[in-house]
């Protein structure tokens, strides 16, 4: 399953890496397809619950909005 998260607050490549690593640590994530500060989104593949994905990014200080 592919999940797209809207994430605001990323301002640099370090932010993108922080979000990527946080999402990779969530059980059920098979891979992080993309994290883009320019588009304000992250695309994740796997069976992880959406709530866990949102929480992982929010715990790092980023705002997580609509999920597609």
- Of the pLDDT bands very low, low, confident and very high (cuts 50, 70, 90), residue 66 is confident
Alpha carbon distance 60, 46 (integer Å) = 21
- Pick among 3.30.70.100, 3.40.50.1860, 3.40.1190.10, 3.30.830.10: CATH of 2-67: 3.30.70.100
Give residue-wise pLDDT tens across range 12-35: 999 999 999 999 999 999 999 999
Q: Give how far Cα 57 sits from Cα of 13, 17, 32, 33, Å.
A: 15, 11, 13, 15
- Residue 41 belongs to what H/E stretch? strand 41-46
Q: Give how far Cα 8 sits from Cα of 22, 27, 29, Å.
A: 15, 23, 21
Q: What is the pTM of this model?
A: 0.93
């Amino acid at each position: 399953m592919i999940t797209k998260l809207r994430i605001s607050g990323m301002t640099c490549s370090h932010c993108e890496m922080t979000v990527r690593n946080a999402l990779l640590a969530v059980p059920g994530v098979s891979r992080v397809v993309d994290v883009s500060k320019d588009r304000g989104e992250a695309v994740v593949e796997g069976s992880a619950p959406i709530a866990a994905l949102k929480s992982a990014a929010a715990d790092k200080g980023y705002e997580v909005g609509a999920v597609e």
